[in-house]
A and B are shown apart, each in its own frame.
Chain A
Amino acid sequence: MKAKDRRLAELKAAIPEVTPVEAEALRTQGAALIDVREPDEVAQGSPVGAERIVRGFLELRVEDSLPDSRRTVLVMCAGGVRSLFAAEGLKRLGYADVRSVAGGFNRWKADGLPTEVPASLDAAARERYGRHLLMPEVGEKGQLALLKSRVLLIGAGGLGCPVAIYLAAAGVGTLGIVDDDVVDRSNLQRQILHTDKGVGTPKVDSAREALLRLNPSVDVKPFRTRLTSSNVEEIFSGFDVIVDGSDNFATRYLVNDACVKLGLPNVHGSIFRFEGQVTVFWPRRPAGRGPCYRCLYPEPPPPELAPSCAEAGVLGVLPGVIGVLEAIETVKLILGLGEPLVGRLLHYDALRQRFTELKLQPDPHCRYCVEGQAFPGYVDYQQFCSARTEVPPSAVTIAAPVAH
C-alpha cells in the first residue's frame, strides 16, 4: 500500500462524508459549504451559495468567512479526495462538525444540483488591486462589488476631481460625471484632473482622459450638461451612489430631491475658503432613516448672502481633503463597511486643523423625506435659490431682541 492510500484510509475513517444531495440539504439549513478547488477549476462553475477558499489558503482565511467554529462545515473539491485533507485541517483549527462531500463537484453536477459561474478577478486585476485583496474587509468579494458599482459625480471641479481619481484607482467600475463647464486656467489651482494643456476643453472630457490614463478599465460616462428637473432622473437611474460636489445651491437642492425620490445615498461635500463640510444624506437607508439636505437647511441663503467661488476664493488643497473624505464614504457605502456619515456632519477647519462632528436629525416634518408621504415634486430651483431675504442685511440693526 502506498503511503498516500494509507493516509487516505485514515482520513476516511476520521472524517464523516455526505453525498452532494445531503450537503445541499444541510446548506439550506444553515451549514457552510466550502469549495476548496483551485481558481481555474472554480471559474468553470461552483455550487450556488458556496464559499470559495482555495485549499492552500484555507486555514489562513477560513475564519474571515466562518467565524463560528460550531457551525457545520461541508468541504468540497472536485472528486472528494482533497476535501478530506482540507476537512482534517479545519478540524485541527477547532471546527467541531466538519464533513467531506463524497464525489465532490463532479458528482454535484451529475446529480443536477445548482451551480453558478462565479465572477472572479483576472490576473491583471489581482495585481492592480492586490492591496485591497489582502484586507479581509475588502477581499475578492469587495473588489468585485467595487468593479460592479456605479457612482455618479455631480461636478468635475474642486471636489469632483479628487473623488473621481481615488474612485477610479480603487476600481469603481462605472464613473459618471455631470458637468457642462470647460476648463479655465483658474481651475487648475485645485481641480487636479485637468491640465494646462486642457484649458478650454470640456471638463468631462479632460476628466475622462485623466481617469483612463490611471485606470483604463473604468467605464467613464461623461454627461456634458446642466442637471435639470427634466433630465435628473434619467441620468441618476443608472447609478448606485451620487456624490455631490456641485458649486451652487440650485443644483444641491435638485440633487437632494432626486436622491430622496429615487432612494439613493447622497454623499455631500462642500467647501468655503478654509472650511469644509461632509455628510451622507440617505433618508431611505435600510439600517434606519437619515436626514436629507432639506432637513438640515430647509431653504437656501438668498444670493446676496451667497457669494460665488470666484468672489470668495478657496484654498486649493481644501477640496482635496473634503473630496477624499467623500470618496471614503462612497467606498464604505459600496462595501457596506463601517459606520457611514449618515446623521452626522463632519466639519473641517483647516486653519485650526480640527474636525468637529455635529449630530443631524431627520426633520419629523420634512416635506420631502418623511416616510410614507408622496414626493411633493421638483420645483423651479433657480427661483427657489434666488428669492430675496426679507430684510436687506445692510438695513438690519442689532437692537432686535433674541429669543422670548
Chain B
Amino acid sequence: MTTTGPSLSQVIVRIPTPLRSFTEGADEVALAAGTAGAALKALGQRHEGLLARVLDAADQVRPFVNIYVGQQDIRTLQGLETPLRNGDILSIIPAVAGGAATAAASEVAP
C-alpha cells in the first residue's frame, strides 16, 4: 500500500457480525485508503480470509453484500473506485435471512 500517496484518507470500516471471526472480534477497523476498493483490499491484507467473503473471483462486490460510504451505496457512486475522504465510514452490509442466516458467514465468531 505505497502507491496511493497523498490521496490516502483515514477511514473506519464497520465489520458486520458474521465477518468478525476474521477481525478477532473487532466491529470496526481503522485504516488508510484512497478508494472504497483500496480500503477493502487493505482490510483483506490485514485480516486473512475476509476479502473473499465480500468480493468474488473477478473482484466484484458479491451480489449478497452491499458496501456503503456514509449512507450511500457505492453502486450509486463510483463502485469500488469511489474516493474516500478523511473520516469516512465504510459499512459492509450482508443479506441476512430473518431468524439468523446470513451472507458472509460460514464460521461464526467463537
Contact = CB atoms under 8 A, between A and B. Distances in A.
B103 A305 contact: yes
A272 B96 contact: yes
A283 interface: no
A245 B100 contact: no
A390 B56 contact: yes
Contacts of B106: 304-305, 307, 393
A97 interface: no
Interface stretch (A78-86, A127-135, A229-237, A345-353): A345-353
Given A356-B91, A358-B93, A391-B52, A246 B98 contact: yes
Contact of A297 (B37, B49, B63): B63
Nearest to A269: B98
B53 A358 contact: no
B73 A248 contact: no
Given A356-B91, A398-B49, A403-B59, A273 B108 contact: yes
Contact of B98 (A252, A396, A400): A252
B100 A402 contact: no
A275 B100 CA distance: 10
Interface string A328-358: 0000000000000000010101011000111
Nearest to B18: A272
A271 B98 CA distance: 5
Interface centre among A275, A314, A404 (most CB of B within 10 A): A275
Interface stretch (A151-159, A195-203, A259-267): A151-159
Interface centre among A245, A309, A358 (most CB of B within 10 A): A358
B27 A349 contact: yes
A271 B100 CA distance: 6
Interface in A249-297: 249, 252, 269-277, 296-297
Interface in B19-47: 27, 35-38, 40-41, 44-45
Interface string A351-368: 110001111110000000
A347 B93 contact: yes
Given A309-B100, A312-B105, A400-B51, A275 B16 contact: yes
Nearest to A302: B64
Contacts of B100: 247, 271-273, 307-309, 311-314
Contacts of A357: 71
A271 B96 contact: yes
A314 B99 contact: yes
A123 B108 CA distance: 54
Contacts of A246: 97-99
Contacts of B44: 398, 402
Interface size, B (range): 35 or more
B72 interface: yes
A283 B48 CA distance: 39
Contacts of A390: 56-57
A301 B98 contact: no
Contacts of B2: none
Nearest to B41: A402
Interface size, A (range): 35 or more
B104 interface: yes
Contact of B59 (A155, A299, A393, A404): A404
A401 interface: yes
Contacts of B37: 402-403
Contacts of B103: 297, 301, 305-306
A17 interface: no
B17 interface: yes
Contacts of B55: 400, 402
Contacts of A404: 59
Given A272-B101, A308-B99, A398-B45, 19 more contacts: A249-B101, A270-B95, A273-B17, A297-B103, A300-B64, A307-B100, A313-B108, A351-B27, A352-B27, A357-B71, A393-B53, A396-B57, A398-B48, A398-B49, A398-B51, A402-B44, A402-B55, A402-B80, A403-B38
27 contacts: A157-B98, A246-B97, A247-B99, A252-B97, A272-B16, A272-B101, A273-B108, A275-B16, A275-B96, A298-B63, A299-B63, A301-B95, A301-B102, A301-B104, A308-B99, A308-B101, A345-B93, A347-B93, A352-B27, A356-B91, A391-B52, A391-B56, A396-B52, A398-B51, A402-B44, A402-B59, A402-B80
Interface of A: 155, 157-159, 244-249, 252, 269-277, 296-301, 304-309, 311-314, 345, 347, 349, 351-352, 356-361, 390-391, 393, 396-398, 400-404
